[in-house]
């Protein structure tokens, strides 16, 4: 029983789900401070908790359905994953993903209409990504970038359209950073993707050119990162911390240009975590 539970949590990539949920709650916090400028005693804790649960469920469902459609590639790149290893069957994974999607959208519906629409759209996009967009050069990377950035928007959606507007800049920064990292991950997985017949951006335009695209996107994000502070969206603690994140992004860019995508991917992940911490401190 414990082994089965562990397999399903691994299928969901529960650690990534928790990080996404945390980002959504941060989205609630930042939008709350921007819109209302009230002390934290008035913070909508129940709505923030609901948002976090929805993100865990929908993200977990998306990761599960991705593994469902990605068995051939995972058999080469990640044979230890639950489906290739035989710990979870494809049918079980499909039903599990459907259950998570339905429950997540239902909870979002009881939060408000904007949250419900985002949850529904993201769920459909996750299925489309897993089924076909993942093998579409750049558009698959862009879909992952949007989905990651939209966790902030989903949190802000607790406050309706006004919340979406308040978090639009942070959404853009997160989206750019994620697209860059996804391209780097595709460079890292070129051998397995080639054997599985996938058509990723590095396979289409070459490793060096794809690295340049990732680098340009990351540098645009770095250049735009002071904007939330300069426009009083985030406070004084944001700027020095996002500066550290920017240095890590620069280190990630350096690694991919030096033909070390594995190291670059790790640095991108660390930089994104530091940027998230900067958002928290700035709020």
Torsion from C-alpha of 28, 241, 266, 182, nearest 10 degrees: 50
Give the residue-averaged pLDDT of 101-120. Answer: 95
Give Cα separations from 141 to 177, 194, 210, 224 (angstroms).
Answer: 11, 17, 12, 20
Model pLDDT for residues 199-231, shown as the tens digit of each residue: 888 888 988 999 999 999 999 999 989 888 887
Model pLDDT for residues 127-181, shown as the tens digit of each residue: 999 888 877 888 989 999 999 999 999 999 999 988 888 888 888 888 999 999 9
pLDDT(3) > 80: no
pLDDT(250) > 80: yes
Give the residue-averaged pLDDT of 103-121. Answer: 95
Give the residue-averaged pLDDT of 45-74. Answer: 90
Give Cα separations from 209 to 215, 228, 252, 255 (angstroms).
Answer: 10, 31, 16, 14
Give the residue-averaged pLDDT of 43-55. Answer: 90
78, 84 Cβ separation under 8 angstroms: yes
277, 30 Cβ separation under 8 angstroms: no
pTM attached to this predicted model:
0.85
81, 7 Cβ separation under 8 angstroms: no
Torsion from C-alpha of 137, 138, 141, 143, nearest 10 degrees: -100
Q: What is the mean pLDDT of the chain?
A: 88
Give the residue-averaged pLDDT of 15-20. Answer: 91
Give Cα separations from 239 to 235, 274, 282 (angstroms).
Answer: 8, 12, 8
pLDDT(70) > 70: yes
pLDDT(281) > 60: yes
pLDDT of residue 118: 96
Percent of the chain with pLDDT over 70: 96
pLDDT of residue 89: 83
């Amino acid at each position: 029983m414990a082994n089965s539970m562990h397999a399903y949590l691994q299928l969901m990539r529960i650690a990534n789900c928790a990080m996404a949920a945390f980002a959504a709650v941060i989205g609630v916090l930042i939008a709350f401070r921007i819109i209302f400028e009230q002390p934290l005693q008035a913070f909508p804790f129940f709505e923030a908790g609901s948002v976090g649960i929805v993100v865990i469920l929908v993200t977990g469902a998306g990761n599960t359905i991705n593994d469902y459609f990605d068995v051939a590639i995972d058999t080469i790149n990640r044979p230890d994953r639950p489906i290739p290893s035989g710990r979870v069957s494809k049918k079980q994974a499909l039903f599990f993903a459907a259950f998570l999607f339905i429950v997540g959208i239902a909870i979002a519906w009881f939060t408000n209409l904007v949250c419900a629409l985002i949850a529904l759209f993201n769920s459909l996009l996750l299925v489309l990504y897993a089924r076909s967009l993942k093998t579409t050069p750049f558009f698959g990377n862009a879909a992952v970038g949007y989905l990651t950035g939209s966790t902030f928007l989903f949190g802000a959606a607790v406050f309706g359209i006004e919340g979406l507007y308040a978090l639009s800049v942070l959404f853009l920064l997160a989206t750019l950073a994620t697209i860059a990292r996804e391209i780097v991950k595709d460079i890292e997985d070129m051998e397995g993707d080639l054997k599985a017949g996938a058509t990723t951006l590095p396979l289409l335009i070459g490793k060096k050119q794809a690295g340049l695209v990732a680098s340009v996107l990351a540098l645009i994000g770095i250049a735009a990162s002071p904007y939330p502070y300069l426009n009083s969206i985030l406070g004084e603690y944001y700027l020095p911390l996002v500066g550290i994140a920017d240095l890590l992004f620069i280190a990630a860019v350096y690694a991919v240009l030096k033909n070390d995508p594995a190291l670059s991917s790790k640095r991108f992940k660390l930089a994104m975590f530091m940027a998230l911490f900067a958002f928290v401190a700035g709020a």
